[in-house]
Amino acid sequence: MGAGPPEVIEKIAGWLIPPACREEVLGDLRERSPGAKAFASDAARTIPCVIYSRIRRTTDPVIALAEALTLYVAFVVAAISFDRSVLVSRESFVRLAIPPVVVVAAMILADAYSNPRKRWPLKPLFAPMLGIALAFAAEMKLGEWGLPRIVLAWGSGVGALMVSLLRLLFPPIADRPQAIEAPAFWRRIELPAGALRYELLVAIVLLLLLLRVLVRRL
């Protein structure tokens, strides 16, 4: 048996693997590929599949869609309220969609890399804040495709508030308490005959009404 992969390569691979399955995947990689080149090659093939599998386990498509819609509406309302010139061009709605896409993508990855063993009351709010920070950074690099500062600021602030409320009402799958041998959340939601969907719909409507009230008072 070989001496095993170099420590640096193993640390890089471990850093790329989501914490929830890091030890198991690294153990399998060590057993299958003791040499450095074999380990790196095997890791390059395996890690993307592990990340994709983890995303599927930690992302609820319905709630992710609700978060994206809430963020997009926040930016559209901000543009209507503060700078309607953003809505004039043919690409306006694409420009308004860029920050929500960045935020939702960041939240999906943050949930996938979330360590289920480490929990704190405000943990569901970390991913939206990270997404907003990345959206600001992306907007700074977009030039003429970037949104006006006032629209970006108000859209991000109100959107982050709305999404944070959604995530407190419907925490990420990895942060929901699970009983031993209980079915996964996405399996359990089929039992109440769509009850969660109605609750989510009501929550979205209430959030959008709150968004409208906030914008009118600005």
Q: Is residue 80 part of a domain?
A: yes
Q: Is there a single domain that holds both residue 48 and residue 147? A: no
Integer CA distances (angstroms), 94 to 2, 67, 105, 127, 140, in order: 53, 17, 16, 23, 16
One domain, residues 40 and 102: no
**Residues 94 and 168 both lie in one domain:** yes
Asked if residue 66 and residue 50 are part of one domain, the reply reads no
Task: Give the count of domains, the chain.
Answer: 2
Tallying the residues shown for the chain, one arrives at 218
pLDDT for 94 beyond 70: yes
Supply the pLDDT for residue 177: 58
Q: What is the pLDDT of residues 11-34, one digit of tens each?
A: 899 999 999 888 999 988 888 877
- Pick the closest to residue 99 from 88, 107, 87 (CA basis): 107
* pLDDT above 90: residue 105: yes
> Residue 133: what residue type?
A
Higher pLDDT residue, 174 or 111? 111
Mean pLDDT for 34-45 is 86
Instruction: Tell me the average pLDDT across 55-78.
Output: 89
Q: Are residues 67 and 154 in the same domain?
A: yes
In a domain, 2, yes or no: no
The boundaries of the domain holding residue 35 are: 7-55
pLDDT band at 207 (very low <50, low <70, confident <90, very high): low
